[in-house]
Structure 1
């Protein structure tokens, strides 16, 4: 098996082939963000890999290059939607919105994970897809970069929780601030650590 993601899966399907991934299932605060990417096989930025394996600097560089040469759609599910329909279905909703934002009818959608949204597109779940499939890896980079950018902005609006660095995940500093300052409107009240602080108010 080739090291790193490749076009092997894309070549099995008619085009356009869309890679989809999301960022932000686990954090206590902020939206979940999904990206959908159709790569131009002749113009693929160097270094595409699972976003978790890349430094912030490399992710930022690849994200900028992807937006210049690939078809990219981004979809967001809000904190309110996460609390209303749960994080799984909010993630699926963000994926649906990301694919819709592309403005093209996919020949196949390759989705990172073990299930696909309830849509009419031909689609296929790919477990560990961000490490196997270039289109999914590209989507993982876009989704993470977009969500990180949002959380840095939210950190300016709600200082004290360390979102610029922890991106809303339950770090020690974030948990301490949650106890000290209480939850913000951007905290996911359906998540147990936040719900406990809401009850403590």
Structure 2
């Protein structure tokens, strides 16, 4: 019986996808913690261990899905995609899916079909959720660094798409891209100008 941890990265940024990670840990991994509390170097080392020693998957919702569903709906869908991707590679039944936060996709996404429990602050107390948060953040950060190469005016390699002064200045000077979330107020306001 597998216990799967799930967390997301990228709910708050003005640009880029929302990414969910799902991880089942066959054995403990030392040093797991909330990805936001780890240094970039430590996170990268832990990601390599998670990839090597656990079962993991990601689920991604792009900007179009975020704008169509809203960020909450897209986050729930990304979590569902991540768990479905992971379950398709696991042998044996799922005991429970532990999700960081106060809501689960159960009853919100038609494809969700696993027992689930939301845990506020779960990324700091449940190792499988901590691992999922690391997988999600590292995956999303790589996406944003790649997008930065094509669109260097917004500082995405540094700000991961969050609404920093640098990013907002880039939007005012260079406009918005196809990677910006038009349903988010700062982007929507610039689109009206």
TM-score by structure 2 length? 0.93
- Quick check: 1:148 aligned with 2:157? no
Q: Does 1:34 align with 2:57?
A: no
Q: Which runs of 4+ in 1 moved over 3 A?
A: none
Offset of residue 159 of structure 1: 1.4
- Equivalents in 2 of 1:68, 1:106: separation in Å? 21
2:109: which partner in 1? none
- The residue number in structure 2 matching 1:106 is 94
Q: CA offsets, 1:19-71, max 9 Å, x none?
A: 00000000000000000000012xx3321100011000000000011000100
For the residues of structure 2 that align with 1:157 and 1:178, how far apart are their CA atoms? 15
Q: Match of 2:38?
A: 54
Aligned length: 184
1:22 matched to 2:15? The reply is: no
Runs of 5+ unmatched residues, structure 1: 1-14
Q: Secondary structure at 1:111's aligned position in 2?
A: strand
Deviation string 1:131-153 (CA, Å, 9 cap, x unpaired) is: 11000011001000000010000
CA distance in 1, matches of 2:99, 2:165: 32
Segments of structure 2 that go 5 or more residues without pairing to the other structure are 107-111
Residue by residue over 1:64-89, the C-alpha shift from the partner in whole angstroms, topping out at 9 and shown as x without a partner, is 11000100010000100000000001
Query: Residues of 2 paired with 1:52 and 1:66: CA distance?
Result: 16
RMSD: 0.8
The aligned residue for residue 117 of structure 1 is 105
TM norm structure 1: 0.90
2:178 counterpart SS class: coil
